[in-house]
Amino acid sequence: MDVIVAGDRAELDIARGELGGGRLALVPTMGALHEGHRSLIRLARQYADHVVVSIFVNPLQFAPDEDFSRYPRTFQADLDACAAEGVNVVFAPSPEAMYRPDRQVSVSAGPMGAIVEGTFRPGHFDGVLTVVNKLFNLVRPDVAVFGRKDAQQLAIIRRMVLDLDLPIEIIGGETVREPDGLALSSRNRYLSEADRRTALALSRALRAGAAQHGPDAIKRAAGEVLDAAARAEPPLKLDYLALVDPLTFTEVPGDHQGEAVLAVAARVGTTRLIDNITLTAS
Protein backbone atom coordinates (compact mmCIF):
# COMPACT_ATOMS: atom_id res chain seq x y z
CA MET A 1 0.00 0.00 0.00
CA ASP A 2 1.31 3.47 -0.89
CA VAL A 3 1.52 5.84 2.06
CA ILE A 4 0.90 9.55 1.56
CA VAL A 5 3.66 11.57 3.23
CA ALA A 6 2.80 15.11 4.38
CA GLY A 7 5.51 17.44 5.60
CA ASP A 8 3.54 20.53 6.57
CA ARG A 9 0.03 21.83 7.28
CA ALA A 10 -0.87 22.39 3.62
CA GLU A 11 0.21 18.91 2.53
CA LEU A 12 -1.61 17.38 5.50
CA ASP A 13 -4.84 19.18 4.57
CA ILE A 14 -4.59 17.84 1.00
CA ALA A 15 -3.84 14.32 2.19
CA ARG A 16 -6.66 14.40 4.69
CA GLY A 17 -9.08 15.56 2.00
CA GLU A 18 -8.12 12.64 -0.21
CA LEU A 19 -9.14 10.14 2.45
CA GLY A 20 -12.84 10.82 2.00
CA GLY A 21 -15.35 10.07 4.74
CA GLY A 22 -15.20 7.75 7.71
CA ARG A 23 -13.56 7.80 11.12
CA LEU A 24 -9.96 8.93 11.38
CA ALA A 25 -7.41 7.68 13.91
CA LEU A 26 -4.12 9.30 14.87
CA VAL A 27 -1.10 7.44 16.25
CA PRO A 28 1.47 10.03 17.42
CA THR A 29 5.08 8.78 17.44
CA MET A 30 8.62 10.09 17.45
CA GLY A 31 9.66 7.52 14.86
CA ALA A 32 12.18 4.69 15.30
CA LEU A 33 9.12 2.46 15.07
CA HIS A 34 9.18 -0.98 16.67
CA GLU A 35 6.60 -3.69 17.27
CA GLY A 36 5.05 -1.67 20.08
CA HIS A 37 4.24 1.16 17.67
CA ARG A 38 2.99 -1.31 15.08
CA SER A 39 0.61 -2.81 17.66
CA LEU A 40 -0.79 0.70 18.25
CA ILE A 41 -1.36 1.13 14.51
CA ARG A 42 -3.19 -2.19 14.35
CA LEU A 43 -5.30 -1.13 17.34
CA ALA A 44 -6.10 2.18 15.65
CA ARG A 45 -7.38 0.34 12.59
CA GLN A 46 -9.95 -1.37 14.80
CA TYR A 47 -11.44 2.00 15.72
CA ALA A 48 -11.29 3.93 12.45
CA ASP A 49 -11.49 3.72 8.67
CA HIS A 50 -8.27 5.69 8.11
CA VAL A 51 -5.04 5.94 10.12
CA VAL A 52 -2.60 8.83 10.28
CA VAL A 53 0.78 8.25 11.95
CA SER A 54 2.79 11.30 12.95
CA ILE A 55 6.57 11.03 13.05
CA PHE A 56 8.07 14.00 14.86
CA VAL A 57 10.90 14.15 17.39
CA ASN A 58 9.46 16.91 19.52
CA PRO A 59 12.16 19.27 20.84
CA LEU A 60 9.83 20.77 23.46
CA GLN A 61 9.77 17.59 25.53
CA PHE A 62 13.55 17.22 25.81
CA ALA A 63 15.59 19.05 28.45
CA PRO A 64 18.99 20.50 27.41
CA ASP A 65 20.81 17.54 29.02
CA GLU A 66 18.61 14.86 27.37
CA ASP A 67 19.12 12.86 24.20
CA PHE A 68 17.30 14.93 21.55
CA SER A 69 20.27 15.08 19.18
CA ARG A 70 20.96 11.34 19.35
CA TYR A 71 17.38 10.14 19.50
CA PRO A 72 17.17 7.46 16.77
CA ARG A 73 15.83 8.62 13.43
CA THR A 74 15.01 5.83 10.96
CA PHE A 75 12.57 7.51 8.59
CA GLN A 76 12.69 5.11 5.63
CA ALA A 77 12.32 2.07 7.85
CA ASP A 78 9.43 3.84 9.60
CA LEU A 79 7.71 4.46 6.25
CA ASP A 80 8.14 0.81 5.32
CA ALA A 81 6.59 -0.24 8.64
CA CYS A 82 3.66 2.13 8.14
CA ALA A 83 3.08 0.81 4.62
CA ALA A 84 3.12 -2.77 5.90
CA GLU A 85 0.51 -1.89 8.55
CA GLY A 86 -1.82 -0.16 6.08
CA VAL A 87 -1.30 3.41 7.31
CA ASN A 88 -2.96 5.96 5.03
CA VAL A 89 -0.96 9.10 5.84
CA VAL A 90 2.35 9.78 7.56
CA PHE A 91 2.63 13.32 8.89
CA ALA A 92 6.34 14.07 9.25
CA PRO A 93 6.83 17.81 9.80
CA SER A 94 10.07 19.62 10.56
CA PRO A 95 10.35 21.61 13.80
CA GLU A 96 10.02 24.76 11.68
CA ALA A 97 6.75 23.47 10.20
CA MET A 98 5.36 22.68 13.66
CA TYR A 99 6.52 25.69 15.67
CA ARG A 100 6.57 29.33 14.66
CA PRO A 101 9.83 31.10 15.54
CA ASP A 102 7.93 33.61 17.70
CA ARG A 103 5.84 30.95 19.48
CA GLN A 104 4.41 32.30 22.74
CA VAL A 105 1.75 29.87 24.02
CA SER A 106 2.18 26.34 25.37
CA VAL A 107 -0.13 23.89 27.11
CA SER A 108 0.55 23.35 30.81
CA ALA A 109 0.24 19.90 32.33
CA GLY A 110 -0.50 21.47 35.70
CA PRO A 111 0.17 19.60 38.96
CA MET A 112 0.00 16.20 37.22
CA GLY A 113 3.01 17.19 35.14
CA ALA A 114 5.18 18.00 38.15
CA ILE A 115 5.03 14.66 39.99
CA VAL A 116 6.60 11.21 39.50
CA GLU A 117 8.17 11.38 36.02
CA GLY A 118 7.70 15.14 36.01
CA THR A 119 9.89 15.48 39.10
CA PHE A 120 12.85 14.21 37.10
CA ARG A 121 11.91 15.86 33.80
CA PRO A 122 10.60 19.35 34.58
CA GLY A 123 8.58 20.78 31.70
CA HIS A 124 8.52 17.47 29.84
CA PHE A 125 4.76 17.00 29.97
CA ASP A 126 4.13 20.62 28.98
CA GLY A 127 6.08 19.83 25.81
CA VAL A 128 4.14 16.62 25.29
CA LEU A 129 0.74 18.27 25.68
CA THR A 130 1.69 21.19 23.46
CA VAL A 131 2.68 18.96 20.55
CA VAL A 132 -0.23 16.55 21.08
CA ASN A 133 -2.72 19.41 21.15
CA LYS A 134 -1.21 20.80 17.94
CA LEU A 135 -1.41 17.38 16.29
CA PHE A 136 -5.05 17.07 17.34
CA ASN A 137 -5.80 20.47 15.82
CA LEU A 138 -3.94 19.71 12.58
CA VAL A 139 -5.06 16.11 11.98
CA ARG A 140 -8.54 16.47 13.53
CA PRO A 141 -8.87 12.78 14.42
CA ASP A 142 -11.89 11.06 15.89
CA VAL A 143 -9.68 8.78 17.96
CA ALA A 144 -6.04 8.84 19.06
CA VAL A 145 -4.00 5.87 20.26
CA PHE A 146 -1.15 6.00 22.79
CA GLY A 147 0.91 3.30 24.49
CA ARG A 148 0.35 2.35 28.11
CA LYS A 149 4.12 2.06 28.61
CA ASP A 150 4.05 5.84 28.97
CA ALA A 151 1.32 5.56 31.59
CA GLN A 152 1.64 9.03 33.09
CA GLN A 153 1.70 10.58 29.63
CA LEU A 154 -1.50 8.72 28.77
CA ALA A 155 -3.17 9.86 32.00
CA ILE A 156 -2.21 13.49 31.40
CA ILE A 157 -3.42 13.40 27.79
CA ARG A 158 -6.75 11.98 28.97
CA ARG A 159 -6.97 14.83 31.47
CA MET A 160 -6.23 17.43 28.79
CA VAL A 161 -8.98 16.02 26.59
CA LEU A 162 -11.38 16.12 29.55
CA ASP A 163 -10.45 19.60 30.78
CA LEU A 164 -10.33 21.23 27.34
CA ASP A 165 -13.44 19.44 26.01
CA LEU A 166 -11.62 17.99 23.02
CA PRO A 167 -13.92 15.77 20.89
CA ILE A 168 -11.40 12.92 20.63
CA GLU A 169 -11.57 9.37 21.99
CA ILE A 170 -8.31 8.32 23.64
CA ILE A 171 -7.33 4.65 23.45
CA GLY A 172 -4.47 3.07 25.41
CA GLY A 173 -2.56 0.20 23.82
CA GLU A 174 -0.95 -2.51 25.93
CA THR A 175 2.80 -2.53 26.49
CA VAL A 176 4.62 -4.90 24.14
CA ARG A 177 7.59 -6.75 25.60
CA GLU A 178 10.56 -8.71 24.38
CA PRO A 179 10.51 -12.45 25.22
CA ASP A 180 12.79 -11.71 28.19
CA GLY A 181 10.29 -9.18 29.60
CA LEU A 182 12.00 -5.92 28.62
CA ALA A 183 9.43 -3.36 27.50
CA LEU A 184 9.98 -2.32 23.89
CA SER A 185 11.47 1.15 23.57
CA SER A 186 13.28 3.04 20.85
CA ARG A 187 16.03 3.62 23.41
CA ASN A 188 16.68 -0.12 23.92
CA ARG A 189 19.09 0.00 20.98
CA TYR A 190 21.47 1.99 23.18
CA LEU A 191 21.82 -0.90 25.67
CA SER A 192 24.92 -3.07 25.59
CA GLU A 193 24.53 -6.78 26.35
CA ALA A 194 25.58 -6.16 29.94
CA ASP A 195 23.28 -3.13 30.22
CA ARG A 196 20.38 -5.21 29.03
CA ARG A 197 20.94 -7.88 31.67
CA THR A 198 20.73 -5.22 34.36
CA ALA A 199 17.74 -3.51 32.70
CA LEU A 200 15.67 -6.68 33.00
CA ALA A 201 15.38 -5.86 36.70
CA LEU A 202 12.68 -3.30 35.84
CA SER A 203 10.18 -5.85 34.58
CA ARG A 204 11.22 -8.36 37.27
CA ALA A 205 10.53 -5.75 39.93
CA LEU A 206 7.09 -5.03 38.52
CA ARG A 207 6.21 -8.73 38.43
CA ALA A 208 7.46 -9.16 41.99
CA GLY A 209 5.33 -6.27 43.16
CA ALA A 210 2.24 -7.48 41.30
CA ALA A 211 2.49 -10.84 43.10
CA GLN A 212 1.95 -9.15 46.48
CA HIS A 213 -1.10 -7.76 48.25
CA GLY A 214 -1.27 -4.31 49.79
CA PRO A 215 0.68 -1.17 48.81
CA ASP A 216 3.50 -1.62 51.33
CA ALA A 217 4.16 -5.23 50.35
CA ILE A 218 3.97 -4.37 46.66
CA LYS A 219 6.57 -1.60 46.91
CA ARG A 220 8.80 -3.62 49.25
CA ALA A 221 8.95 -6.64 46.91
CA ALA A 222 9.65 -4.48 43.87
CA GLY A 223 12.23 -2.46 45.79
CA GLU A 224 14.18 -5.57 46.80
CA VAL A 225 14.64 -6.51 43.14
CA LEU A 226 15.80 -3.00 42.27
CA ASP A 227 18.16 -2.87 45.25
CA ALA A 228 19.84 -6.04 44.01
CA ALA A 229 20.15 -4.54 40.52
CA ALA A 230 21.81 -1.47 42.01
CA ARG A 231 24.66 -3.78 43.09
CA ALA A 232 24.98 -5.38 39.64
CA GLU A 233 27.58 -4.55 37.03
CA PRO A 234 26.72 -2.26 35.41
CA PRO A 235 24.54 -0.94 38.24
CA LEU A 236 20.95 0.18 37.89
CA LYS A 237 20.51 3.77 39.10
CA LEU A 238 16.95 4.22 40.29
CA ASP A 239 15.08 7.47 39.71
CA TYR A 240 11.82 6.37 41.28
CA LEU A 241 9.56 3.49 42.21
CA ALA A 242 6.00 4.69 42.77
CA LEU A 243 2.60 3.13 43.36
CA VAL A 244 0.07 5.66 42.10
CA ASP A 245 -3.55 6.28 41.26
CA PRO A 246 -4.02 5.56 37.54
CA LEU A 247 -6.06 8.74 36.96
CA THR A 248 -4.10 11.34 38.96
CA PHE A 249 -0.68 9.69 39.40
CA THR A 250 -0.64 10.69 43.04
CA GLU A 251 0.80 8.13 45.47
CA VAL A 252 -1.82 5.78 46.88
CA PRO A 253 -2.07 5.49 50.68
CA GLY A 254 -1.04 2.39 52.59
CA ASP A 255 -4.65 1.28 53.01
CA HIS A 256 -5.52 1.71 49.31
CA GLN A 257 -7.68 -0.98 47.76
CA GLY A 258 -8.34 -1.12 44.05
CA GLU A 259 -6.49 -0.39 40.84
CA ALA A 260 -3.07 1.23 40.95
CA VAL A 261 -0.06 1.70 38.67
CA LEU A 262 3.34 0.51 39.81
CA ALA A 263 5.80 2.70 37.89
CA VAL A 264 9.58 2.67 37.74
CA ALA A 265 12.29 4.72 36.05
CA ALA A 266 16.01 4.04 36.14
CA ARG A 267 19.24 4.52 34.26
CA VAL A 268 21.49 1.74 33.04
CA GLY A 269 24.71 3.06 31.59
CA THR A 270 23.75 6.14 29.58
CA THR A 271 20.19 4.96 28.89
CA ARG A 272 17.12 5.96 30.88
CA LEU A 273 14.23 3.49 30.84
CA ILE A 274 10.69 3.56 32.21
CA ASP A 275 8.19 0.79 32.78
CA ASN A 276 4.95 0.18 34.65
CA ILE A 277 2.24 -2.33 35.37
CA THR A 278 -1.39 -1.87 36.34
CA LEU A 279 -2.38 -4.03 39.29
CA THR A 280 -4.95 -4.38 42.04
CA ALA A 281 -3.69 -3.35 45.46
CA SER A 282 -5.79 -5.19 48.02
Q: Which residue numbers are catalytic?
A: 37
Q: Is 223 among the annotated ligand-binding positions?
A: no
Q: Is 35 annotated as a binding residue?
A: yes
160 labelled as ligand-binding?
Answer: no
| 33 marked among binding-site residues | yes
Q: Is 176 part of any known ligand binding site?
A: yes
185 is in an annotated binding site: yes
Q: Is 34 annotated as a binding residue?
A: yes
DSSP secondary structure letters along the chain: -PPEEE-SHHHHHHHHHHT-SS-EEEEEE-S---HHHHHHHHHHHHH-SEEEEEE---GGGS-TTSSTTTS---HHHHHHHHHHTT-SEEE---HHHHS-TT-------GGGGGSTHHHHSTTHHHHHHHHHHHHHHHH--SEEEEETTSHHHHHHHHHHHHHTT---EEEEEPPPB-TTSPBP-GGGGG--HHHHHHHTHHHHHHHHHHTS-SHHHHHHHHHHHHHHHHTSSSPEEEEEEEEE-TTT-PBPPTT--EEEEEEEEEEETTEEEEEEEEEEE-
* Residue 256 is labelled as binding a ligand: no
Residue 147 labelled as part of a binding site: yes
148 known member of a binding site:
yes
User: Is 61 marked within a binding site?
Assistant: yes
Q: Which residues are annotated as a binding site for ATP?
A: 30-37, 147-150, 176, 184-187
Q: Which residues are annotated as a binding site for beta-alanine?
A: 61
Q: Which residues are annotated as a binding site for (R)-pantoate?
A: 61, 153
Q: Which residues are annotated as a binding site?
A: 30-37, 61, 147-150, 153, 176, 184-187
